Amino acid sequence: MSAEFLVFLVVALISVASALGLLLSKNAIYAAMFLILNMVSLAVIYLLLNAPFIAAVQVAVYAGAIMVLFVFVIMLLGAEKLNAPETRPGLKWQQPLALALGVALAFQALYVVFARGITAPANVIEAGPLAIGRLLFTTYLFPFEVASILLLAAMVGAVVLTKKDN
């Protein structure tokens, strides 16, 4: 068992634990913190998988920007304690059923993954910002521009939606 795999194992455990924490936490702020932890742990795994640029973006954009936005909204709305009592007694069976289906999905995924082994080549390719950037501005130029328009539209949308009617 290599050191790399050992690191992976530890980080993987942390990420699963933090995901479960997200799933089970009563407090929205805690949930957000668990999600940040999960994202950071995934960033570590990205590093192990020869994706340093993505790892950096993961921390900066996801764990940084997006989650800050989340926390900001939670605070703004004062919605951190929102484990409201079940108001729909008719839907009580829904959560166990969701869990059962989730487990079924997980087992299906396990089955598919274990059906055959997947190994990667030993040599790694250059995956720094330079390589990513070159690809981004050559092959993926058009999707890149579309993504920029999408972000612009999202910004306009967010402004319109939150604006008070006056």
Partner 1 sequence: MTDIQPVILLSALLFTIGVVGVISRRNALIIFMCVELMLNSSNLALVAFARQWGNLDGQLFVFFVMAVAAAEVAVGLALMVAIFRTKHSTNVDELSQLKG
Partner 2 sequence: MAILLLPILIPLIAAAINAVFGPKLGERTSGWLATLACMASFACSVVLFAQVAGQSEGGMNTNLFPWVWVENLHVSFGLLVDRLSAALMLIITGVGALIHLYSIGYMHGDSRFSRYFVYLNLFVAFMLVLVMGNNYLMMFVGWEGVGLCSYLLIGFWYEKAKNTDAARKAFVLNRIGDVGFIVGLLLMFSVFQSLNFSDVLGVGETGFKIGAAQLPFVGLITLLLLVGATGKSAQIPLLVWLPDAMSGPTPASALIHAATMVTAGIYMIVRSHVLFDAAPSSANVVALVGACTALLAGSIALRQYDIKKVLAYSTVSQLGFMVAAAGLGAYTASIFHLMTHAFFKALLFLAAGSVIHGMEHYAHNMAASHDEKHIDPQDMRNMGGLARKMPLTALTFLAGALSLAGLPPFSGFWSKDEIILAALERNPVVFALLAVTAVITAFYTGRQLMLVFWGTARTRDARNAQESGPLMTLPLLLLAILALFGGLLNFPGGLWLEHWLEPVLGAEPAAGFNVAIAILFSTLTIVALLVAFGLYRYGGRETQVKAQTGLKGALNRGWYLDDIYRAIFVIPFYALASFLARVFDLGGIDGVVNGIGRLVNTVALGARRYQSGFVRMYGLVMLFGVVAMLTWFMLSAR
Residue ranges that bind partner 2, judged by CB under 8 A = 88, 91, 94, 97-98, 101-102, 104-105, 108, 111-112
Least distance from partner 2 to the Cβ atom of residue 8, Å: 27
Residue 130 binds partner 1 (CB under 8 A): no
- The entry of partner 2, partner 1, none that residue 142 binds, CB within 5 to 8 Å by partner kind: none
Say whether 88 sits in a helix, a strand or coil. coil
Using CB under 8 A, pick the residue from 10, 75, 103, 141 that binds partner 1.
Answer: 103
Cα separation of 31 and 21, whole Å? 7
Q: For 50, left (φ over 0), alpha (ψ -120 to 50), or beta?
A: left
Cα separation of 134 and 142, whole Å? 13
Would you state the structure tokens that stand for residue 13, as one six-digit string? 């455990």
As beta bridge partners, residue 81 has 27
State phi, psi for 86 to the nearest 5 degrees: -60, 115
Pick from 15, 4, 40, 7: nearest CA to 120: 4
Q: By CB neighbour count within 10 A (0-12 exposed, 13-18 middle, 19+ buried), where does 43 fall?
A: buried
Residue 54 binds partner 1 (CB under 8 A): yes
Write out the binding residues for partner 1, residues 136-165 only, by CB under 8 A: 136, 139-140, 143, 147, 150-151, 153-155, 157-159, 161-162
Q: Report how many residues bind partner 1 under the rule CB under 8 A.
A: 89
- Output 106 or 141, the one with its CB closest to partner 2: 106
- The entry of partner 2, partner 1, none that residue 79 binds, CB within 5 to 8 Å by partner kind: partner 1
Least distance from partner 1 to the Cβ atom of residue 10, Å: 12
Residue 12 binds partner 1 (CB under 8 A): yes
- The entry of partner 2, partner 1, none that residue 56 binds, CB within 5 to 8 Å by partner kind: none
